[in-house]
Amino acid sequence: MRRSKRSAGLGLLVAFLAAGAAPAPDPRGSADEFRIGPEDVLEIAVWDNTDLSRTVPVRPDGRISLPLVNDIQAAGLTPMELRATVIARLGPFLPNPEVSVIVREVHSAKVSVIGEVKDPGRYELRGKTTVLDALALAGGLGDFADHDAIFVLRRQGSATVRLPFDFKRMASSRDKHAPFLLYPGDIVVVP
């Protein structure tokens, strides 16, 4: 009974994603370039102006609010790109503003693990994370997990792609292949 409920839920999720739900902003950029995302916490420091300096969360709509300039789009930008935007927006109010953008907390980089695992849920990424890492965070595979049918759902533009995951090969200590790295927003599905 438990297995059939999970399978039905899994089918609904896959159908929902395939139907083209609104894509999340892509915080990846290049492999080594951090992009700000919703729920991250930023410190915006304006040199020699404590009234304009703030520690702010990035709202779900991807924006931050600052004195004088109101709302600024932050999600999807690098800290340096956001810095340039804040400088440009403060320009009419301050001559040559010096601004620093410091990422205090990263909460936007999350993956989901669903299906036949011991603790399905949404997990924050802390650095480079593989599918095996995510499965470990989820408590490991459940008793009825199909090792041969694990896959990852990943947004690519307006489409969702299904990437197969070879559990046996990746779990083998003799495997010399590159690890299967997850991106923020990925969903690991364990049927």
Calpha distance 58→63 (Å, rounded)? 6
CB neighbour list of residue 70: distance below 8 Å, 6 or more residues apart: none
What are the backbone angles phi and psi of residue 124, rounded to the nearest 5°? -80, 140
Model's pTM, two decimal places? Answer: 0.71
Q: Is the pLDDT of residue 6 over 60?
A: no
Domain-by-domain residue ranges, the chain? 41-105, 109-190
pLDDT given for residue 61 in this prediction: 97
For 133-172, write each residue's pLDDT tens digit.
999 999 999 999 999 999 999 999 899 999 999 988 888 7
Residue 169: the pLDDT is 86
CATH code for residues 41-105: 3.30.1950.10
pLDDT at 157: 87
What is the pLDDT at residue 69?
A: 94
CATH architecture label of 109-190: Roll (3.10)
